[in-house]
Amino acid sequence: MAANEPPQPPYVLLFEEAAPGAVPLLISVDDRGALPLFDSADKAQTFVDSTDFGPGWKPVEVSGAGLVAVLETCRGQVEYVALNPPPAREGGGMHVEMGGLEELIEAFQASREDDLFGLGGFGQN
C-alpha cells in the first residue's frame, strides 16, 4: 500500500457476530491497539485459529463504505490498523505492517473525492 492510498478490496475483518453495530476484533501489537484488516477470509481465519481469542470470531467481508464505518467506530479505541497480521507464534518476533487509523480514514475519503462519478476508478487513464 503506497502512502495515502487505502488498501484494495476485499476487506475482511473478524467479528463474533455479523450484525449491524457489532464490534470487530481489536488486538494489541507491541502495546499499540490495532484493528486487524485482511485481504482474504483465509488469512483472517488462519490468524484467528492461531490465537486464543475463542471460537466465536469469524471472518466477515465488508464493503469499502462498511470498512470506513467500522474504522470510524474504532476511533478512540485504537490508533492503528494491522494489515494482514501473520498467525501468532510462540515467543512473538513477527513483523506486522501497521498504518494509522486516522490516516486510513483520510485516504478512503480522499479516494472517494477523486472518484467524482462513482466509477471506482473505471475509465481513468
CA distance 45 to 37: 12
Cβ neighbours, 10 Å, residue 33: 15
The pLDDT tens digits for 76-106 are: 999 999 999 999 776 666 788 999 999 999 9
Take residue 43 and report the three cell numbers written for it. 488469512
Please give the angle made by the CA atoms of 31, 32 and 33, to the nearest 5 degrees.
120
CA distance 45 to 98: 19
The pLDDT tens digits for 2-52 are: 455 678 889 999 999 877 778 899 999 888 999 999 999 999 999 999 988
Residues 85 and 28 sit within 8 Å (Cβ to Cβ): no
